[in-house]
Amino acid sequence: MQEAARSLGVQIFVLNAGTENEIDAAFTKLVEQRAGALMLVSDTFFTSQRSHLATLSTYLRIPTLDAVRESRSSISRQSQARRRQATCKPAVGAISSWLDA
């Protein structure tokens, strides 16, 4: 994949995360590198952190591709839950502070 990306003039950064703090650090790295997009692999941890990932992706305006398919009713329930809850405030606040510095 790296070779194909190079031939197109695109650089791929591989970031790993296994905790919420590592997700926050990965997003900080994405901002530092001025990443044009984020592609998530199918993983149970990332699935459990979808709300956190969606909040950071939206706030930082990083287009994100998630490999998990869901039914429309499941997506609708998640959208409603996101509207009711303010998730990731500490992470967004920390990244916002970093961006303002």
Chain segment 30-86, per-residue pLDDT in tens: 999 999 999 888 888 988 998 999 999 999 999 998 876 655 555 555 555 555 444
> Tell me, what's the pLDDT at 4?
87
Say which amino acid occupies 59: Y
The DSSP annotation for 77-97 comes to HHHHHHHH--TTHHHHHHHHH
Whole-angstrom distance, CA of residue 88 vs CA of residue 4:
35
> Tell me, what's the pLDDT at 91?
47
pTM: 0.63
| Helical ranges in 1-101 per DSSP H | 2-7, 20-32, 44-48, 50-60, 72-84, 89-100
Whole-angstrom distance, CA of residue 34 vs CA of residue 78:
28
